[in-house]
């Protein structure tokens, strides 16, 4: 870990925090730097808070998702009492809606059974590759821990009853050998959130939650963490403030608080720190089930926590921003759609029209102009979608993207252009002419009406490319279908945000580190709330959840 080199600043920090003059605070508070002011505030609230601890456990975990649940089990396995809270009404976080494609190797028993040669060293080498954006920017200290913990994490999953499909997938992402294994979907459709959509991740989190409860972890749902409480004198994290059913109270953590809150992609202000183009119109995969609101990161940053490997968030790979696949609904992420059977359907309002062949649509920006080859899923597509379109009031972000198609396109795709498949309340429109269609497009993110003549010109020009057999503007391969048969349709297809690939800085024990390289005593982060490793998804969350739970459980308790 980096050495604290801030000791020379302690005078000015002392000066700023003159009201908190105890030596113990000054030593640690000065080391915390920017966090010192926050500690002073937290410290002044502390005496009051300590008198009103509503609940106490050795380890308090925020988030009953992919990182939080293994943290809970591991902390229990190591003898700690555990309270997990989650803001949602059910467990699982984004993990329950994930495809369950688990990227874990290192030579575990299933790999051996399927004759895959792998090792912890190979995992390490693959995930520090300089020739791959998935691995180039990651913290190699964290990757080393990840690599060494792959086999123990596989063993942990098996020991806790998680089932994996015995079939090789991959190599994927940065890996050079097959390491992707799908978890078996949960057997009860009523507990899958998006039944009918092969949400294999449900089998992972449901089983881990079952085990966590069986082993004695208490899971409090509809409980939202609002603040981390830190002792003003020692700087040690003492617990959290929580709201539930309109009441606010504090939960004390004798050994540690683990932030497993997921990432930040749903917080516009936060995500724009990494890329100012990511303005409000970009929706988030997994909404409305879970909103990644950055509450974990912000609560820690209020105590001076640092972020880590922020380059990961803006690498030009498709894990952070993706093309919609289900168009004409608000949230159309790749493999996820909410059928009427889903408890989320009443919030999602539509299933969406699943695109099989992008040749059936033309995509236009909020000015009604084509912007890129519609068949592309490359980063260039997203960059073009986010380019400035000449709106003097909106210089950042590109505005909504609309897929335009006609009755023939709908027929080829076998789309039913009515609810529940589409959402006419701002995400799907229909008209008898292209110019009329333009005037009908109204959405909170569509700041200005699309001029009918511009949209008509775009479609006329594209139809000319079909006649010519060549897209002279964006080189779309062989444009084949004209958009000419009424009715005409416009379906929301704005790119959708996916992974948080940066988050809080931690050391190899998953302990959160502040802006001066010092551990924030008693605070941990795992999962998408943790930065430093840009691997997509489940595996890094499981691994560092276990690491955090184990380390926190073994600490000395506050007396």
- Is residue 527 close enough to count as binding ligand FAD by CB under 6 A? yes
What is the C-alpha separation between 489 and 421, in angstroms, rounded?
Answer: 13
- Is residue 99 close enough to count as binding ligand FAD by CB under 6 A? yes
- The residue number with the shortest CB distance to ligand FAD is 65
Site string for ligand FAD, 59-98 (x = CB under 6 A): ---xxxxxxx----------------xxxx----xxx-xx
Scanning residues 390 to 409, which ones bind ligand FAD (CB under 6 A)?
none
Strand, helix or coil for residue 4: coil
Scanning residues 221 to 240, which ones bind ligand FAD (CB under 6 A)?
224-225
What is the C-alpha separation between 473 and 465, in angstroms, rounded?
Answer: 9
Shortest Å distance, C-beta 129 to ligand FAD: 18
Scanning residues 326 to 355, which ones bind ligand FAD (CB under 6 A)?
333, 336
Shortest Å distance, C-beta 497 to ligand FAD: 10
Q: Which is nearer to ligand FAD, 325 or 370 (CB)?
A: 325
How many separate helices (H) and strands (E) can be counted in the chain?
Answer: 18, 21
**Which residue, among 349, 236, 297, has the nearest Cα to 526 in the 3D structure?**
297
Give 184-247 as a DSSP string: PPPS-GGGSSSTTS--THHHHHHHHHHHHHHTT-EEE-S-EEEEEEE-TTT--EEEEEEEETTE
**Which residue, among 145, 62, 181, 193, has the nearest Cα to 537 in the 3D structure?**
181
Angle at Cα 237 formed by Cα 235 and Cα 240, nearest 5°? 140
Site string for ligand FAD, 22-61 (x = CB under 6 A): ----------------------------------------
Q: What are phi and psi of 152, to 5 degrees?
A: -60, -30
Q: Which is nearer to ligand FAD, 98 or 122 (CB)?
A: 98
* Residue of the chain from 43, 70, 100, 532 that contacts ligand FAD (CB under 6 A): 100
* Cis preceding linkage at 420, omega within 30: yes
- Count of residues binding ligand FAD (CB under 6 A)? 40
User: 250 and 53 in contact (C-beta within 8 Å)?
Assistant: yes
- Per CB under 6 A, the segment of 118-126, 245-253, 284-292, 354-362 that binds ligand FAD is 284-292
Q: Which is nearer to ligand FAD, 194 or 437 (CB)?
A: 194
Q: Which is nearer to ligand FAD, 70 or 328 (CB)?
A: 70
CA diameter of the chain:
80
Scanning residues 248 to 277, which ones bind ligand FAD (CB under 6 A)?
260-262
Shortest Å distance, C-beta 165 to ligand FAD: 12
- Per CB under 6 A, the segment of 164-172, 310-318, 453-461, 533-541 that binds ligand FAD is 533-541
Q: What are phi and psi of 311, to 5 degrees?
A: -60, -30
- Is residue 195 close enough to count as binding ligand FAD by CB under 6 A? no
| Per-residue buried b or exposed e for 373-394, using 16+ beta carbons within 10 Å of the residue's own CB | bbbbeeeebbebbbeebeeeeb
Q: Which is nearer to ligand FAD, 28 or 550 (CB)?
A: 550
Give the tokens for residue 210: 């079952």
CA atoms within 13 A on the CB side of 338: 24
Q: Which is nearer to ligand FAD, 92 or 235 (CB)?
A: 92
Shortest Å distance, C-beta 524 to ligand FAD: 13
Q: Which residues bind ligand FAD (CB under 6 A)?
A: 62-68, 85-88, 93-95, 97-101, 103, 201, 224-225, 260-262, 285-286, 290, 295-296, 333, 336, 527-529, 536-538, 541
């Amino acid at each position: 870990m980096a050495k604290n080199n801030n000791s020379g600043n302690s005078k000015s920090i002392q000066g700023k925090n003159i009201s908190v003059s105890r030596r113990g605070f000054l030593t640690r508070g000065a080391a915390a730097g920017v966090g010192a002011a926050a500690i002073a505030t937290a410290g002044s609230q502390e005496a009051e808070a300590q008198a009103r601890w509503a609940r106490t456990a050795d380890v308090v975990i925020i988030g009953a998702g992919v990182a939080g649940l293994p943290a809970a089990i591991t902390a229990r396995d190591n003898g700690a009492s555990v309270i997990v809270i989650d803001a949602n009404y059910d467990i699982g976080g984004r993990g329950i809606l994930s495809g369950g494609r688990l990227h874990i190797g290192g030579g575990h028993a299933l790999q051996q059974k399927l004759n895959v040669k792998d090792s912890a060293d190979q995992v390490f080498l693959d995930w520090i590759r300089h020739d791959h954006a998935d691995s180039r920017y990651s913290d190699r200290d964290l990757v080393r821990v990840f690599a060494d913990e792959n086999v123990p994490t596989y063993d942990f999953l098996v020991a806790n009853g998680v089932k994996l499909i015995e079939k090789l997938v991959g190599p994927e992402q940065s890996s050079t050998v097959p390491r992707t294994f799908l978890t078996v979907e949960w057997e009860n459709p009523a507990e899958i959130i998006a039944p009918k959509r092969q949400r294999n991740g449900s089998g992972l989190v449901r089983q881990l939650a079952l085990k966590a409860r069986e082993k004695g972890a208490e899971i409090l749902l509809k409980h939202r963490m609002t603040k981390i409480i830190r002792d003003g004198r020692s700087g040690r994290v003492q617990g959290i403030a929580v709201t539930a059913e309109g009441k606010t109270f504090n939960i004390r953590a004798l050994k540690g608080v683990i932030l497993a809150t997921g990432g930040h992609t749903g917080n516009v202000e936060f995500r724009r720190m990494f890329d100012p183009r990511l303005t409000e119109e970009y929706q988030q995969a997994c909404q409305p089930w879970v909103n990644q609101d950055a509450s974990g990161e912000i609560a820690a940053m209020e105590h001076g926590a640092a972020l880590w490997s922020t380059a990961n968030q803006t690498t030009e790979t498709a894990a952070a921003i993706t093309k919609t696949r289900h168009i004409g609904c608000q949230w159309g992420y790749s493999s996820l759609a909410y059928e009427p059977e889903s408890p989320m359907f009443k919030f999602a309002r539509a299933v969406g029209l699943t695109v099989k062949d992008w040749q059936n649509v033309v995509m236009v920006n909020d000015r009604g102009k084509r912007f890129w080859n519609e068949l592309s899923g490359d980063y260039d597509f997203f960059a073009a979608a986010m380019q400035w379109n000449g709106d003097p009031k909106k210089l950042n972000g590109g505005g909504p993207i609309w897929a335009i198609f006609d009755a023939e396109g709908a027929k080829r795709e076998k789309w039913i252009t009515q609810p529940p498949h589409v959402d006419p309340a701002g995400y799907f429109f229909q008209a008898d002419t292209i110019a009329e269609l333009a005037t009908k497009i109204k959405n909170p993110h569509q700041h200005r009406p699309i001029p009918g003549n511009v949209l008509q010109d775009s479609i006329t020009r594209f139809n000319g490319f079909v006649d010519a057999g060549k897209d002279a503007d964006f080189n779309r391969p062989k444009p084949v279908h004209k958009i000419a048969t009424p009715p005409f349709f416009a379906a929301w297809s704005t790119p959708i945000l996916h992974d948080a690939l940066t988050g809080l800085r931690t050391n190899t024990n998953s302990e959160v580190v502040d802006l001066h390289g010092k551990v924030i005593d008693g605070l941990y982060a795992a999962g998408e709330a943790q930065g430093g490793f840009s691997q997509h998804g489940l595996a890094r969350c499981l691994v560092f959840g276990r690491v955090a739970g184990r380390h926190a459980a073994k600490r000395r308790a506050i007396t």
